[in-house]
Structure 1
């Protein structure tokens, strides 16, 4: 067994355990049993439980980025297209598509109950990702737009995406299951959020909306 494979197995086992139980409740003994290693191996590779947790969170983030990567853009890619693809990527990462990986559950747990791992997560991943969004939005705003206004819009994008992850159980109480299954897919949520932002920025006419307001109104009137 190679050094890398042992470390990888420990990280995988730790990530799954921490995602389920949280930092306080997860035990090194349970992680070692899941990984098929002894406690000395954890001490050798990570030093202590806190460092293992931090590395497990970072490992989860790297895996999730690999599972749902941002597309490659060129200098000629329209800002509107980049925004739509950014939103779709963010939703895929947050809403566990494809599958329901432990990686997202661990990262969301860390966001909701931040520890020291969150500091490294923000610096290494969230801040660069956030900057990509800021740069996209800047392309669609006047050059004189204050930075705080760009940040308002960027956080509005992230907040709308995060809502669907943070309030999954509430949504199942508010919305019919069949409607959730058919109308609240990642793709449809992505279209809606992107339309809202683009319309707010003046980059989308009513006729270009995924679900035009006029069409929705006429449907209501004839119902």
Structure 2
């Protein structure tokens, strides 16, 4: 019963925080919508900030555990990169994920609160370090410098584009073109594009016979 209340508080608060931001949402409103006593917030989370952090953790941690598992030592680095990209896409594009996960994280990343550093250290940095280890098998030299950081950011940015900009992609490509963007198609493209960019794969061939999507125009 207590876990049900705790879960309801996170779900309701996460949606409200995602819509309006931390400052604009009160504990009483959250508890009314979650059909919970105001004291439940203090009991489960300590205070409103604790509840907010719990919402961020819930939104960020969804389906990312597999990305942090060690991969077989004999797996080629390029295949490790593909595994990482696929895992991120599966997490971000999971159709069962509530919309507030995206809205809350976009709000927090765009206008960070003091909770941002906790989320970075507990969730984002471990993922970055996992990608860094993969990239060390693909890039010459042992130093993780500014250039390798930027390469890593570029890979992550490609994944996040398909997560954040789905409505725009659907409008540009049209419904039929959008439906061709399966997890496999996006994973393969980001992997091939990234490997080509760092000189570890052939140039991307835009003359793919299976590619039938054309730009959509409403002019």
Q: TM-score, normalised on structure 1?
A: 0.80
* Residue in structure 2 matched with residue 199 of structure 1 by the alignment: 196
Name stretches of at least 5 consecutive residues in structure 2 with no aligned partner: 213-219
1:166–1:12 CA distance, 2 compared to 1 (3 A): closer
Confirm or deny: 8 A CA contact 2:132 2:144 kept in the other structure.
no
In the TM superposition, 1:114-133 aligns within 5 A as: 114-133=112-131
Aligned match of 2:216: none
5 Å-filtered alignment, 1:82-97, equals 82-95=80-93, 97=94
- Describe the SS at the equivalent of 2:23: helix
TM-score, scaled relative to structure 2: 0.81
d(CA) in 2 for partners of 1:105, 1:64: 17
Q: 1:63-212 residue pairs with structure 2 within 5 A?
A: 63-65=62-64, 69-70=66-67, 72-95=70-93, 97-101=94-98, 102-143=100-141, 147-182=145-180, 184-205=181-202, 212=205
Count of residue pairs the alignment pairs up: 209
The answer on 1:13 being equivalent to 2:8 is no
CA RMSD of aligned residues (A): 2.7
Q: Which residue of 1 aligns with 2:42?
A: 43
Cα distance change, pair 189–139 in 1 and its aligned pair in 2 (3 A): same
User: Compared with structure 1, are the counterparts of its residues 144 and 32 closer, same or farther at alpha carbon in structure 2 (3 Å cutoff)?
Assistant: closer
Q: Equivalents in 2 of 1:103, 1:157: separation in Å?
A: 21
CA shift, 1:171, in A, is 2.3
Contact 2:64 2:87 in 1 (8 A): no
Q: Is the 8 A contact 1:111 1:118 kept in 2?
A: yes
Distance 1:90-1:129 versus aligned 2 partners, 3 A rule: same
Report the alpha carbon displacement of residue 62 of structure 1 after superposing the two structures with TM. Answer: 2.7
Please state whether the residue corresponding to 1:25 is helix, strand or coil.
coil
Cα contact 1:92–1:98 (8 A) shared by 2: no
Cα shift at 1:63: 3.3
Specify whether residues 111 and 189 from structure 1 end up closer, same or farther in structure 2 by C-alpha distance, changes over 3 A only.
Answer: same
Q: Unaligned stretches of 5+ in structure 1?
A: none
TM-superposed CA distance for 1:194, in Å, is 0.6
Residue 31 of structure 1 corresponds to which residue in structure 2?
Answer: 30
Q: Which stretches of structure 1, 4 residues or more, deviate above 4 A after TM superposition?
A: none
